[in-house]
Amino acid sequence: MELKGQSALVTGGGSGLGEAVARMLAARGARVAILDLNDESASRVAAEIGGIAMACDVASGDSVRRAREYIAEHQGDARLVVNCAGIGTAGRMVSREGAMPLADFERVIRVNLMGTFNVMRLTGERMMRLPALADGARGAIVNTASVAAFDGQIGQAAYAASKGGIVSMALPAAREFARFGIRVNTVAPGIFLTPMLCTLPEEAQKALAEGIPYPSRLGDPAEFADTVRYLLENQYVNAEVIRLDGAARLAPK
């Protein structure tokens, strides 16, 4: 699909991987809307790339509907949707303090898994009604999982479950939307140099990088964005899950 001139929506676009995707799309001529719980960060990025921004809780139906209407009014219904919003809270199921509060598990599932599903269902509802382009396509969706979906570490039960759910949605979602000319793909990134990782000491970052076979470094968000670009543009890639991790496999802890 041609990115230039298309209306694009990026959740979690105020920082990290989502910001890199928003910048990539803008650089290729798309009209970009950034949805983020942090309105200040979203507005900053939007101002720098000539896009629009709106505070949004991806797990709230009302919040996403409001954002959807705002985007439609200002740049047209989105044909390109990239879900990057998520949280990475860690915690053991049973620690010295006792069993993990169920609310902690629920929060991770709500934001990561339900949030991704919520954005897909509400943007897909409008996308499927758009006029088909010359090649029959109506849009493309890319979701963000994690290598934790495949080899989650101790303390990542909630996070791995949420990302595993996103991986599992790729095929049924793609099959459901196929008759409308909408593709659904997923990227499962490994260890990337995001703002959260930048807060770690340099030695800790180096240790993480040394555990990656090749290249032995942390991933660059621009590399994630380029993978998203490929999935959006290549019309024959559908229902795919791409590990983007330098051949890394997470140790138990």
What amino acid occupies position 177?
Answer: F
C-alpha 116/C-alpha 81 separation (Å) is 11
Q: In the numeric block, which tokens belong to residue 34?
A: 């950034």
Partners of residue 69 on adjacent β-strands: none
Q: How far is CA 39 from CA 15, 36, 185, in A?
A: 11, 6, 27
- Enclosing H/E stretch for 81: strand 80-83
Q: Under a CB-based contact definition with an 8 Å cutoff, are residues 149 and 110 in contact?
A: no
Catalytic residues: 159
Q: Is the CA virtual torsion 240, 2, 63, 221 positive or negative?
A: positive
